[in-house]
Amino acid sequence: MRVVLIERGEMGGECLNTGCVPSKALLAAAAQTAHAMRSAGGCGIEAVEPCVDFAAVHAHVHQVIAAIAPHDSVERFEGKGAHVIRAEARFVAPCVLMAGGQRIEARRVTIATGSAPVAPKIDGLDAVPYFTNESIFDNRTLPAHLLIIGAGPIGLEMAQAHRRLGSQVTVIERSKEPRA
Ligand SMILES: Cc1cc2nc3c(=O)[nH]c(=O)nc-3n(C[C@H](O)[C@H](O)[C@H](O)COP(=O)(O)OP(=O)(O)OC[C@H]3O[C@@H](n4cnc5c(N)ncnc54)[C@H](O)[C@@H]3O)c2cc1C
């Protein structure tokens, strides 16, 4: 089939840029290494307190993104025969889209536009600075104390990673029931 892929933001979407990849680079590579250094005792290797350069950890996370980016790149998909348009898509008629000044008519359209972080209604939140997944991986300074609202998998990943890298971490979860 002839395929047109339209992307208005970064190729690779959330997973590559602000989701799975940076979170696992932070968690698995950096934080796990720091934890392993601290807890090495017991297997004949002296445990040491790691000296964490958070700006360098940030650089590492972005190197991992950059290493994977070619797999999600325009060149790769164009090389496989898809036509890639880097622009915002909008419908102008059923099965007719406009993107980047191009008109695309297709029998089938897959909408895979993902999601964006939504700030929850929490009193006072609008008066304080806070991170979302779109900003936390751009942070170059280790937070002295990171407060995480929500103990889902992503909140707990960020809690573990930052704790292991040396932040004080507090997690707040309103539900008292364990998640299924
Ligand atoms: C911190 C974090 C860690 C995560 N870790 C994992 C993990 O370990 N494993 C896992 O499976 N999942 C993980 N996820 C979830 C995963 O990132 C998402 O489920 C996945 O990226 C969703 O993919 P998608 O293609 O549906 O949407 P997206 O990746 O959001 O892609 C949608 C794309 O559509 C584009 N778009 C939107 N509207 C338009 C328009 N009008 N015109 C053109 N383009 C448009 C956007 O720019 C975007 O790039 C994690 C998420 C976060 C935030």
CATH of the domain spanning 4-172, picked from 3.30.565.10, 3.50.50.60, 3.30.1360.10, 3.40.50.10490: 3.50.50.60
Q: What is the pLDDT of residue 143?
A: 97
Q: What is the pLDDT of residue 42?
A: 79
Q: Is 104 helix (H, G, I), strand (E, B) or coil?
A: strand
Q: What is the pLDDT of residue 47?
A: 94
**115, 59, 57, 127 alpha-carbon torsion, rounded to 10°:** -50
Question: What are the sequence ranges of the domains in the chain?
Answer: 4-172
Q: Whole-number mean pLDDT of the chain?
A: 95
Find the residues whose C-beta lies inside 6 A of ligand 1: 6-9, 13-15, 19-20, 23-24, 88-89, 112-115, 133, 154
Atom of ligand 1 nearest to the CA of 158: 1
Q: Is 100 helix (H, G, I), strand (E, B) or coil?
A: coil
pLDDT tens for 144-156 read 999 999 999 999 9
pLDDT tens for 99-128 read 999 999 999 999 999 999 999 899 999 999
Task: List the residue whose alpha carbon is closest to atom 13 of ligand 1.
Answer: 20
Q: What is the pTM of this model?
A: 0.94
CA distance 95 to 78: 22
Which of 10, 11, 14 to probe ligand 1 with, by most ligand atoms within 8 A of CB?
A: 14
CA of residue 12 to ligand 1 center, whole Å? 8
Which of 4, 6, 15, 135 to probe ligand 1 with, by most ligand atoms within 8 A of CB?
A: 15
In this structure, the strands spanning 89-93 and 96-99 are antiparallel
